[in-house]
Amino acid sequence: MPMNRETHVFHTNREDLERAAQLLREGQTVAFPTETVYGLGANALNPEAVKKIYEAKGRPSDNPLIVHIARLEDISQLVTHIPEKAKLCMERFWPGPLTLILPCTDRVPSAVTAGLDTVGIRMPDHETALQLIALAGIPLAAPSANSSGRPSPTTAAHVLEDLSGRIAGVVDGGAAGVGVESTVLDVTGDKPMILRPGGITREMLQELLGPVGIDPALSDAGIAPKSPGVKYTHYAPKGTMFLIEGEHDVDKIVELARAARHDGKKVGILAAAEDADAFRSVFSEEEGAVILEAGSRHDLSTVASRLYDAIRTFDHHGVELIYAQTYSEEGVGLAVMNRLRKAAGHRVIFS
């Protein structure tokens, strides 16, 4: 794929979406908004088109992709059969931020599945995404539209920051909503297994399905994960991030940040909304500490929606060390902490 090409910016009107859909039919890559993050789409049934996703992102080719559809009937060409628990999930959570791992047909290229006999499929809950997929008339393989390893994009500006000149186009649909990627649920075994936590929580799934497991790789960095999009380092800022856990986390972060400032480092603090003023009372911009609010402990969906933008903001400020508070793993907090651990490279300091 030629690089340093023009990346067209499309809007959400019908004419622009038809132009973007035409590029997709021609085997090009186009980024588009979903309710989670922006995805980088290509024809999921065209191996050469799919390869352009890997090339643009610098993504390892053994990392499988998620396929996005606009209608339930589109799934028939992609999977051999649909387990009953998958049908329940589709009825309850589609369209929505839930990817289901299903046994795939031979129509799905190995470039999508990374050689596995399963494929991740979801139907996004975003009008623009659904319109684009329907206009293209093809299922779209679409990982997050960022350079591999970088924070996922929640705006078109984030996409262009990473991929301008490397993709054919981006549809600017404003800011994404959920802010973290879809939940990935493997329904091919006897017990459903969460391979990646996201906007559809374990609690929501268990209410519908009964017991739902969690992939041990989510809490043990030494175990190879099985989910699309989580095999390699993700969400990382350019600076080094540490998670600070414990009831004295505010005092510990202040101590660490002061020491780093004394050593001449530019410091970032990713704070819960409830503690941000405590940090601001200690540090000022002149002292070189960039303090960003991640969201409220009482509404972890706000943390999820702001997390990636905050990480990119630290990069824009040239922050070298980031100290981040941690959160409960109930509900969407499981997804928040999964992304924070990945962003920090599993570096944790206990207070």
Residues in the annotated binding site for L-threonine: 36, 68, 122, 142, 182
Which residue, chain included where needed, has tokens 């799905």? 108
Q: Which residues pair with 242 in a beta bridge?
A: 323
d(Cα 80, Cα 78) in Å, to the nearest integer?
A: 7
d(Cα 91, Cα 58) in Å, to the nearest integer?
A: 35
Q: Which residues are annotated as a binding site?
A: 36, 59, 63, 68, 118, 122, 142, 144, 152, 182, 196, 235
Which residue, chain included where needed, has tokens 């414990």? 246
DSSP string, 333-347: HHHHHHHHHHHTTT-
Q: Which residues are annotated as a binding site for ATP?
A: 59, 63, 118, 144, 152, 196, 235
For residue 324, what are its two tokens? Answer: 């981040």
Nearest residue to 295 via CA among 287, 282, 306, 279: 306
Give, rounded to a whole angstrom, the gap between the first and last alpha carbons of the chain.
49
Nearest residue to 28 via CA among 180, 183, 138: 138
For residue 148, what are its two tokens? Answer: 């591999």
